[in-house]
Amino acid sequence: MTQNNLALVTGANGHLGNNLVRLLIDKGIPVRASVRNIKNREPFAGLDCEIVQSDITDKNSLVMALQGVTTFYAVGAAFKLWAKDPKTEIYDVNLRGTQNIIEAAAEAGVKRIVYVSSIAALNYAQLPTKESFGQNPDRRDTYYNSKNDGEKLAFELAKKYSIELVAVLPSAMIGSESYGNLSVSYNIIDLILKKKIPVETGITLNWIDVKDVAEGCYLAATKGKNGERYILANEKCLSIKDTTKIAQNLFPELKIKLPMVVPKPLLFIIAWFMELGSKISGKAPLLSVKDIAMFSGLQQDFDISKARNELGFNPKKADIAVKEAMIYLYNKSLS
């Protein structure tokens, strides 16, 4: 196997990273999988790939991992919507990580980067949202700010170092199987099946199969235009209520109830108490005041014609992705 088209995937034991590693191997591309904890090899069982240790907060480890690499899939990032110290644990990690990613690529002589951004970095002022509408002007969420500022910094530094960079912006990733811990998005499906979402929040999600996002990353590497951003999502979002209805139809025996509609002021009070509990426990709240303020009623509908036309991106419909994810989680709970 020649190494002249070697790909590096950071965050390779994560939900997207691991699926991307598998996709690239299936396509006959030599893969170097980068993880923070080299001891956790379970997600790579039976996979023909090189596993290395690197961390986006440690530039030298990235330079080492990128030796001989042609295409760099920058997947690894702090993906959490809550932290005890959000600036340090989320914003600083993602911004410093982005700087390290581009500078390390420049030092290692990498020519092309697929930078995994997020739909968090999109402007929702007009629907359906397009890439050309620019960055998200809403500055209330630390994770969202880290993705907006990180993507902007990535393009600036890539230009400075003459590296080709294509950004992909995925929505809420789920799928028919998961490797390692459940992602933030996947966990919501799990909570619905476990009847742990009692109230209607008015929050919608744009569900996408993680395998379609992995394919979108590969298409961005091979067909994406330098300096461009591509939304990897479905056209229409689904409310938690509509997502719960899918679960009801699939598993009537679980007797899942639709979330109860409550007045918005009461939602804020519920969220406030949940946050109070999180300050004590150190665990992320099921709902935060900011979640209600920013996302309740926000429609996450996208115009994905750019990704369709330029990349050939063609995701399976959201309801199908949801059904497959629910069946997978249900069967997993039985095993």
Specify whether the CB–CB gap between 24 and 9 falls below 8 A.
yes
Q: Is residue 289 part of a domain?
A: no
User: Residue 74: which H helix or E strand, with range?
Assistant: strand 71-74
pLDDT value at residue 2: 39
Once rounded to an integer, what is the mean pLDDT over residues 305-329? 97
Distances (CA, A) of 1 to 18, 44, 48, 252: 21, 19, 11, 50
* Distance between CA atoms of residues 219 and 274, nearest Å: 41
Domain total of the chain? 1
**Which CATH number is 153's domain given?**
3.40.50.720
Extract the tokens encoding 214.
Answer: 């992995």
Rounded to the nearest integer, the mean pLDDT of the chain is: 95
Q: What angle do CA 247, 252, 258 make, to 5 degrees?
A: 55
DSSP state of 1: -
pLDDT in tens, 35-48: 998 988 899 999 99
Flag whether pLDDT at 327 surpasses 50: yes
Distances (CA, A) of 38 to 52, 79, 212, 230, 262: 7, 20, 27, 31, 46
Flag whether pLDDT at 1 surpasses 60: no
Classify burial at 185, counting beta carbons within 10 Å of its beta carbon; exposed 0-12, middle 13-18, buried 19 or more.
buried
pLDDT value at residue 315: 98
Once rounded to an integer, what is the mean pLDDT over residues 136-157? 96
DSSP state of 286: S
Read off the pLDDT band of 180 (50, 70, 90): confident
Whole-model pTM: value is: 0.96
Flag whether pLDDT at 317 surpasses 60: yes
Q: Is residue 137 part of a domain?
A: yes
* Distance between CA atoms of residues 186 and 314, nearest Å: 21
Peptide bond connecting 259 to the previous residue in cis, omega within 30 degrees of 0: no
Flag whether pLDDT at 26 surpasses 50: yes
Once rounded to an integer, what is the mean pLDDT over residues 96-109? 98
Q: Is residue 192 part of a domain?
A: no
pLDDT value at residue 8: 98
Q: Is residue 255 part of a domain?
A: no
pLDDT in tens, 252-273: 999 999 999 999 999 999 999 9
Q: Is residue 242 part of a domain?
A: no
Classify burial at 153, counting beta carbons within 10 Å of its beta carbon; exposed 0-12, middle 13-18, buried 19 or more.
middle
Phi, psi values for residue 58, rounded to 5°: -125, 100
Once rounded to an integer, what is the mean pLDDT over residues 69-76? 97
Flag whether pLDDT at 84 surpasses 90: no
pLDDT value at residue 3: 54
Extract the tokens encoding 97.
Answer: 């990580």
Q: Is residue 286 part of a domain?
A: no
pLDDT value at residue 101: 98
* Distance between CA atoms of residues 247 and 250, nearest Å: 5
pLDDT value at residue 179: 82
Extract the tokens encoding 93.
Answer: 């990690």
* Distance between CA atoms of residues 265 and 205, nearest Å: 22
Flag whether pLDDT at 305 surpasses 70: yes
* Distance between CA atoms of residues 201 and 297, nearest Å: 8
For residue 210, the enclosing domain spans 7-183+206-235+300-320
